[in-house]
């Protein structure tokens, strides 16, 4: 398991109006224990694309782990409890006003 140290949120614009709901990109700086297979000495980020639908539902659309120093893709998947943790975190943060 990991913890979230810092994060940023950006509203993703849809100039053509083809996507339903509002999409957001969240960049999460993670703290990962050294004995975890996800651990990288350079640090790990999680890039999350999150959607809030007009009906009030929300979900993770896509995510990817990144090497914090190179932004290179790290081929790992979240476990179910990690995904639930990240989903709850994103949902909570998007209920707050977003500073542009």
Model confidence pLDDT, tens digit, residues 43-72:
999 999 999 998 989 999 999 999 999 999
Asked whether the beta carbons of 69 and 42 are under 8 A apart, the reply is yes
User: 């006003």: which residue's tokens?
Assistant: 97
Q: Which two tokens stand for residue 66?
A: 């990144």
Model confidence pLDDT, tens digit, residues 65-93:
999 999 999 999 999 999 999 999 999 99
**pLDDT reading at 39 higher than 90:** yes
> 57 to each of 11, 16, 91, how far by Cα in Å?
17, 22, 10
Asked whether the beta carbons of 29 and 43 are under 8 A apart, the reply is yes
Confidence of residue 99 (pLDDT cuts 50, 70, 90): low
């Amino acid at each position: 398991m990991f913890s979230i140290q810092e994060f940023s949120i950006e509203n993703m614009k849809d100039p053509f109006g083809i996507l339903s709901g509002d999409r957001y990109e969240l960049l999460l700086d993670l703290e990962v224990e050294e004995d975890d297979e996800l651990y990288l000495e350079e640090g790990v980020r999680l890039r999350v694309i999150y959607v809030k639908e007009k009906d009030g539902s929300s979900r993770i659309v896509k995510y990817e782990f990144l090497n914090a120093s190179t932004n290179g893709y790290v081929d790992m998947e979240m476990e179910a409890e990690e995904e639930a943790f990240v989903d709850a975190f994103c949902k909570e943060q998007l209920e707050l006003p977003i500073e542009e």
